[in-house]
Amino acid sequence: MGGEERRIHARIETDLPCVVRNEDGAFEARLRNLSRAGAAIVGPPSIGKLGDAIELELELPGFADPVGVLTEIIRTEACPPKVRFGLRFVLVEPRQRDHLGHFLEALLERQGAGSRAHPRVYPHLEVVCTTAAQTRAMMNNVSRGGLALECDVPLVLDEPVTVGVHLGDDAAGLELRGHVVHVRSIGERRYHAGIRFSPLSGSEEASLRDLMAALLAGKH
């Protein structure tokens, strides 16, 4: 689930309470991100160590029952006095998979983590970026307010940009228009840019939400 692994499922950023269970009992933690394949949580060190199997229990207002899945700890990172755990789902029954899908879609309607107005979805998706010229780029995250991408062309602050997204041969393409709000170098001939969307029409907002739901479902 780390950056060194190829992500199949996009993850959504969040900050919600959750419960983790191991052979010693139950522990309260915070859910930092979630996908259909795993999650990141922050909690006490007693949750476990690399390779341990633990149960993650998620509860969202409006859902009658919590969603519980068996996971394996595949990464730990100290953030004293707590620890950030990377979890991979190892057993998800069909009914749990359906509940998890509904849970992810519900997260799209909630406020983003921290002070963000909208939740961010983190795919790793190739897109077409058009300014005065056209280039391919990698979209790193997207929300209802904008997106971030990496490219080998230094975009210009405040310039208008159109990002074309296509999820497959059978899916209609989507063009997202906005302007560059920040840009920085992240390596030799490699740049990171933030795009804020222009005001979206009702149909564009619906298409963007469908895109984010499709990314969370692994359709990219």
How far does Cα 119 stand from its chain's mean position? 8
Residue 76's domain is classified under what CATH number? Answer: 2.40.10.220
Which residues have C-beta within 8 Å of that of residue 40, sequence separation ≥ 6?
1, 11, 31, 32, 33, 34, 84, 85, 86, 87
Q: Which of 44, 74, 107 is the last residue of a domain?
A: 107
pLDDT in tens, the chain (220 residues): 444 344 568 999 999 999 999 999 999 999 999 999 999 999 999 999 999 999 999 887 667 778 889 999 999 999 999 999 999 999 778 888 888 888 888 888 877 666 677 889 999 899 999 998 899 999 999 999 999 999 999 899 999 999 999 876 555 689 999 999 999 999 888 999 999 999 999 999 999 999 999 899 876 6
Q: Which of 73, 107, 141 is the last residue of a domain?
A: 107
Task: Kindly state the DSSP code that residue 6 receives in the 8-state scheme.
Answer: P
- Kindly report the backbone phi and psi dihedral angles of residue 210, in degrees, each rounded to the nearest multiple of 5, phi listed first: -60, -40
Number of Cα atoms under 13 Å in the Cβ half of residue 46:
8
Does residue 101 sit within a domain?
yes
Task: Kindly state the DSSP code that residue 63 receives in the 8-state scheme.
Answer: -
